Amino acid sequence: MSDSTDAVTPEAAAGELRLRVGAFEGPLDLLLHLCRTEEIDLAALPVRTITDQYLAHLEAMEFRDLETAGAYLVMAATLIYLKSKLLVPPDETDEQLDDEALLLKQELEERLREYARVKVQGTWLAQREAEQALIWGRSSSTLPTLEDVPLEDLSVHWLERSLKRLIEEQQRLRPRQIEPNPPSVLERMTEILTLLRDTWSLLFSSMAGGERRRSEVVVSLLAVLELCRQGKIRTQQTELFGDIVIERRTPDPEEGVALLGPSEDTPSAESS
């Protein structure tokens, strides 16, 4: 046991770092995180401190795509611009420009405040969602539909209404049919781990998605493979083409879920 602790510690530390960096949703999220850990009032943003910390975080980050990187860099540029304004002593002739910088700073503060509000609202919605997940209602009804009207009562208006309804129905269905958007592997992984919190094992067929879309099955399979690789689950298939049985592996499932959880819960060992 004693040597295993040694082996685990550096790995855990590295994983923690990656988690913290990857968990930000965007530049505003990162800024808000910095303000939170430093207990900074959003109404009086200390530009010097926040810029330095932001840039420090930026260096540690890896970007998935250019667009995300761009969003972070625009914020960095704004912060550096503001900081440069602070370093230069204000000059009488320069007043116009300082107003500009002040305006920019106020705008940034307002955006941060708005984003903080959105976070609160999002948290509230999450709480509601969790509450609502506990109740079930009828999802489909066998009530006869409007088509069953007696023929003699028909009029052109009915036809028009039916047609309109048909078209609306088509429009409503269209995005689903044309561009099916499979859930992400990460989402499916979280889902599997969540399911495994309540039960010891589950069948692959039961979680491959109700619609039996090929993409759903692929995503599920990838999720299962990834979880296997991470050692979070164990799988077995007793016969050829048989159903795959998925079992929880870690004695402490909370650990696994925390990996994919929101960043609020993540430890924020501070680097200043």
Binding-site ranges for other proteins (CB under 8 A): 25-29, 32, 35-36, 39-43, 67-68, 71, 75, 111, 113-143, 172, 175-176, 179, 181, 183, 187, 191, 194-195, 198-199, 202-203, 206-207, 262-264
Of 95 and 187, the one with the shorter C-beta distance to other proteins is 187
Q: For the CB of residue 101, give the shortest distance to other proteins in the complex, in Å.
A: 20
Alpha-carbon Rg for the chain, nearest whole angstrom, is 27
Of 20 and 111, the one with the shorter C-beta distance to other proteins is 111
Of 6 and 67, the one with the shorter C-beta distance to other proteins is 67
Is the four-CA dihedral 88, 90, 92, 96 of positive or negative sign?
positive
Q: Which of 32, 37, 36, 55 is nearest to 108 (CA)?
A: 32
DSSP 203: E
The answer to whether 256 and 215 have CB atoms below 8 angstroms apart is no
Q: Which residues contact 249 (CB under 8 A, 6 or more apart)?
A: 231, 232, 233, 234
Q: For the CB of residue 155, give the shortest distance to other proteins in the complex, in Å.
A: 19
The answer to whether 218 and 164 have CB atoms below 8 angstroms apart is no
Q: For the CB of residue 255, give the shortest distance to other proteins in the complex, in Å.
A: 19
Q: For the CB of residue 163, give the shortest distance to other proteins in the complex, in Å.
A: 21
Residues forming a β-bridge with 234: 247
Of 64 and 229, the one with the shorter C-beta distance to other proteins is 64
Of 6 and 65, the one with the shorter C-beta distance to other proteins is 65
- Cα–Cα distance for residue pair 64/75, rounded to 1 Å: 17
Q: For the CB of residue 78, give the shortest distance to other proteins in the complex, in Å.
A: 11
